[in-house]
Amino acid sequence: MNPHRVRRIVPVIPTASMADIAFLLIIFFMLTTTFSPEKTTVELPQSEIRTEVPKDAAIIAITEEGIIRFTDGERPSFALGTAAELGPLTREVVRWLPDKEFVIKADRMVRYELIDAVLEQLRLNGAKRVGLLTERKTGGGV
Partner 1 sequence: MKLRDRHRSAAEIPTSSMADIAFLLIIFFMLTAVFATTEGLRFDLPKDDPTQLDVQPEEAIHIKILGEGQYVVDKTPMTLEEMGGYVRMKMQQNPDKPVIIQTEGNVLYFVMIDVFDLLKYLQVENISIPTRTEIERWKAFGIFE
**Contact residues: partner 1, CB under 8 A:** 15-16, 18-19, 21-23, 25-26, 29-30, 33-34, 36, 39, 41, 44-53, 55, 101, 103, 105-113, 115-116, 119-120, 122-124, 126-137, 142
Closer residue to partner 1 (CB): 6 or 49: 49
Of the chain, the end-to-end C-alpha distance in Å amounts to 86
Alpha-carbon dihedral sign for residues 22, 25, 30, 34: negative
Q: What's the DSSP call for residue 44?
A: -
Cβ closest to partner 1, residue 92 vs residue 113: 113
What does the alpha-carbon distance between residue 36 and residue 100 come to, in Å, rounded to a whole number?
A: 17
Least distance (Å) from partner 1 to the CB of residue 131?
A: 4
What 3-state class would DSSP assign to 69?
strand
CB of 4 to partner 1, least distance (A): 20
> Least distance (Å) from partner 1 to the CB of residue 28?
10
Residues in the chain: 142
Q: Which is nearer to partner 1, 36 or 85 (CB)?
A: 36
For the CB of residue 111, give the shortest distance to partner 1 in the complex, in Å. Answer: 6
26 or 79: whose CB is closer to partner 1?
A: 26
Could you tell me which residues are beta bridge partners of residue 8? none
State the nearest-atom distance from the C-beta of 94 to partner 1, in Å. 11
> What is the distance between the alpha carbons of residues 67 and 46, in angstroms, rounded to a whole number?
21
How far apart are alpha carbons 94 and 124 in whole angstroms? 11
